[in-house]
Amino acid sequence: MAHKFEIHKDKAGEFRVRFKYNNETIFSTEGYASKASAQNAIDSIKKNGPDAPTEDNS
């Protein structure tokens, strides 16, 4: 699979989510205190992302 979500722990001990495509990080989230909160962020992105509008600020 060329794309994936990763949950990792940063230097401050917080859990963060990275979205990667072909091993390149496309975006990462804020830090979360628990792994469950990071997983909730992934679930929210999967649920709400496909219908998100595109805003062109060019």
The torsion region of residue 54 among left (phi > 0), alpha (psi -120 to 50) and beta comes to: beta
- The amino acid present at 36, given as its one-letter code, is A
pLDDT at 1 over 80: no
Which tokens belong to 6? Answer: 């990763």
Q: Which residue has the higher pLDDT, 1 or 3?
A: 3
pLDDT per residue over 9-53, tens digit each? 999 999 999 999 999 999 999 999 999 999 999 999 999 988 889
Q: Which residue ranges form the domains of the chain, and what is each CATH number? A: 3-49 (3.30.160.160)
